[in-house]
Amino acid sequence: MPETEVWTIGRLLNWTTDYLADRGSPSARLDTELLLAEACGCERIELYTRFDTPASDKTRTTFRELVQRRAEGMPVAYLLGRRDFYSSTFRVSPAVLIPRPETELLVVALLDLVNARGSEEGTAVAPLTPASPSGQFRFADVGTGSGILAVCAAEHVANCQVTAIDISQEALEVARQNVQDHGHTDRIELCHSDLFDSVPPGEPYDVILSNPPYIAENEVDMMAAETRDYEPRLALFAGESGTEVIERLVPQAAERLAPGGSLLMEISPMIEERVVGLFEGQATWELLPVVKDLAGLSRVVHARKVG
C-alpha cells in the first residue's frame, strides 16, 4: 500500500478490493469488508459510517497481515475464525470444513421431518414420532466437524438429544467450543469415532444426519484452490469413487435407526446415481425424493428405515 496519501477507511476498502480481485478472489469486496471490519473491531456496516476516517497504524498493520494471507489463498473464514450458518455464527479452524449454504438444506430437511411439512414437490412427509420412551427425539450427526448440524438441531428442536460424531479429535474440539458457545452442552454429546464404529450401543436414533466426505480423488483438479489447499482432506475426499464413506455409513445407519427413522445425507450431484443405487431394491429402506438446491442440483438424500 503506497504511503503518498492518507489511508482512510474508504480508500482502504477501494484499493484492497482491486488488489484482491487482481489476485483471483471471486468475492473481493466482501472479503475486504470482512477483513477490514475485523481489523477495526467493528461491524461491516460501520465501515461506511467511517468512510472518511483515517485508519490507525494498528488497524492498518492488522489489516495488511490479513489481506496478505487472503491474497495467498487462505479462506476468509479461517482468517476470522468464524462463519455464519443458518442465521447463527460458528467457530471454524483449518481442522474443519467451512460451512456452506448447501448444508443448510440438511437442517431444513430435518425440521420439515420433525414438523411434518411437505416437500417442494408436494409429497407429504409422515410425522416423525420419537422412538424413545422418554419422548425425546434422538439424533446423530455423523462427521460433525464444527458441530453446526448438531447445534442447529438442538437449537430448533426443543425435545432432542444429539450425538455428534467425528473421526478427528481436532474437529471435535472446535465442535465442543461451538456447543458451549450456543449453550447446548446438556443436549449434545460429542463422540470420537470413525462413523459408528466406536459409538456405544444404545437406544436407536430417530434421525441420522451426515455431511460425509463425498469427493472423488480424481476431482481434485476441479476444486477451488482455497478449498483444495486449506480445508481438511479427511473431511473432503472419500476415495476413488467418492462414495466409499457413504457405502460404509448406509448399513451402519440401518442398524442404528429406529423403525421409521430417517437418514439424511448431503451428497454431490455427481454421485447421486451411485448413492441412490445403494438404497434401491433394499427391503430395509424406503427412498424419498432427493432434495435439490436453488440451482436444481441434487443435494440431500432422504431414506427412511422400513418398519
Is the domain covering 85-305 a CATH 3.90.400.10 domain? no
What pLDDT sits at residue 117? Answer: 61
Q: Are 168 and 143 in contact (CB under 8 A)?
A: no
Q: Are 213 and 238 in contact (CB under 8 A)?
A: yes
pLDDT at 123 > cutoff 90: no
What pLDDT sits at residue 2? Answer: 56
Query: Predicted confidence band at 121 (pLDDT cuts at 50, 70, 90)?
Result: very low
What are 29's three cell numbers?
469486496
Least confident of 121-130, 136-145, 171-180, 296-305: 121-130
The span from the CA of 157 to the CA of 250, in Å, is 24
Q: Are 303 and 286 in contact (CB under 8 A)?
A: yes
What pLDDT sits at residue 129? Answer: 87
Query: How far apart, in Å, are the Cα atoms of 230 and each of 28, 79, 162, 233, 297?
Result: 18, 11, 29, 9, 25
pLDDT in tens, 62-116: 999 999 999 999 999 999 999 999 999 999 999 999 999 999 999 999 999 998 7
Mean of the pLDDT values across residues 237-247? 96
What pLDDT sits at residue 1? Answer: 55
* Greatest pairwise CA separation for the chain in angstroms: 74
Q: Where are the domains of the chain?
A: 9-72, 85-305
pLDDT at 124 > cutoff 80: no
Strand partners, 162: 139, 188
What pLDDT sits at residue 116? Answer: 77
pLDDT at 41 > cutoff 80: yes
Mean of the pLDDT values across residues 2-28? 90
pLDDT in tens, 50-60: 999 999 999 99
What pLDDT sits at residue 49? Answer: 93
What pLDDT sits at residue 120? Answer: 46
Q: What percent of the chain has pLDDT over 90?
A: 89
CA 296 to chain centre: 19
CA 96 to chain centre: 9
Q: Are 96 and 235 in contact (CB under 8 A)?
A: yes
The span from the CA of 164 to the CA of 182, in Å, is 15
pLDDT at 3 > cutoff 70: no
Question: Residue 278 contacts by C-beta under 8 Å, 6 or more apart in sequence?
Answer: 243, 246, 247, 250
What pLDDT sits at residue 281? Answer: 86
What pLDDT sits at residue 131? Answer: 87
